[in-house]
Amino acid sequence: MRVVTWNLWWRFGPWEARQKAILAVLRELRPDVVGLQEVWEQGSDNLAQWLAGELGMHWTWAASDDPGFWQRRIGDRSVGIGNAVLSRWSVGERAVLPLPAAEGDGGRLALYARLDAPGQHVPFFAAHLASAPDASAARCRQVTALAEFVARYKGGTGFPPVVTGDFNAWPDSDEVRLFGGLKTAPPVPGQCLIDAWEYADPTAPSATWDMANPYVAATYGPSVRIDYIHVGPPGPGGLGHVRAVRRAGDGPVDGVWPSDHAAVVADLAPGAAS
């Protein structure tokens, strides 16, 4: 099962050209499921819906309940923002969690989708955390709520929960360590979630917020990985274990960089018979 997480940079920059580049990358990757952040919606148009239609995938979307932080930046209150899931399989259940707000940065959320994959349901989550560099305390509150959300919806299947998202946090940060629960006490007793990048080639480029990207270069760094795929411990026969992980969308497509973030791609095993 190929999983992708990607922050699509909402309606910033050359967004119309960028959405074609985003589609080109996803077509090449051929994912089974994608967790998306900073997805735009305006009237009857929705970027996730368009991508799903072009890729022949199912989709579900959750809008931010407080998009003003974003709308003020582009001067257009008609454009919504939220998280989405694209899936090769139908979505049998969904739920939305508004995350605890950071100062001046509300409306962040997590989206749950139960994917009706052959042989088992897959509990899948897409989250977007607060972005301010000094908002670690707020992100700790957010990952605590997210971990509880995962615990609420992960049951009833042998497939481990898969949590994707832009955490806006460095890998060794308090919030990422807290959410994983392997290097400190987990927010939900007994629940541990493994950062898929632990399985990456140690020589592979890892930064998803990368100064090589011209949209990012003006921030003056540093380059760092802030986007994650977390997976619960494997199920029976190794169900859901991480086989490989890498970056994608980390260069221009026909001269256009798709987003200010690179995507993360993980291949998960469907089971012992695979």
Here the tokens at position 121 are 């349901």
Q: How confident is the model at residue 274 (pLDDT cuts 50, 70, 90)?
A: very low
Q: How far apart are CA 10 and CA 131, in angstroms?
A: 14
DSSP H/E element including 11? none
Here the tokens at position 193 are 């979630």
Here the tokens at position 158 are 């042998």
- Which residue's entry shows tokens 């060794």? 172
The highest-level CATH class for domain 2-268 is alpha beta
What Rg value do the Cα atoms of the chain yield, rounded?
A: 17
Find out whether 83 and 39 touch, Cβ atoms under 8 Å.
yes
Question: Could you tell me the residue ranges of all domains in the chain?
Answer: 2-268
pLDDT digits over 213-268, tens only?
999 999 998 999 999 999 999 999 999 999 999 999 999 999 999 999 999 999 99
DSSP H/E element including 85? strand 79-87
Mean pLDDT of 86-93: 97
Which amino acid, 225?
R
pLDDT of the residue at 119 = 87
Q: How far apart are CA 119 and CA 57, in angstroms?
A: 19
pLDDT digits over 97-119, tens only?
999 999 999 999 999 999 999 98
pLDDT of the residue at 55 = 98
DSSP H/E element including 264? strand 263-268
Q: How far apart are CA 163 and CA 128, in angstroms?
A: 11
Here the tokens at position 36 are 């998306």
Percent of the chain with pLDDT over 70: 99
Question: Is the pTM higher than 0.95?
Answer: yes
Q: How far apart are CA 165 and CA 149, in angstroms?
A: 14
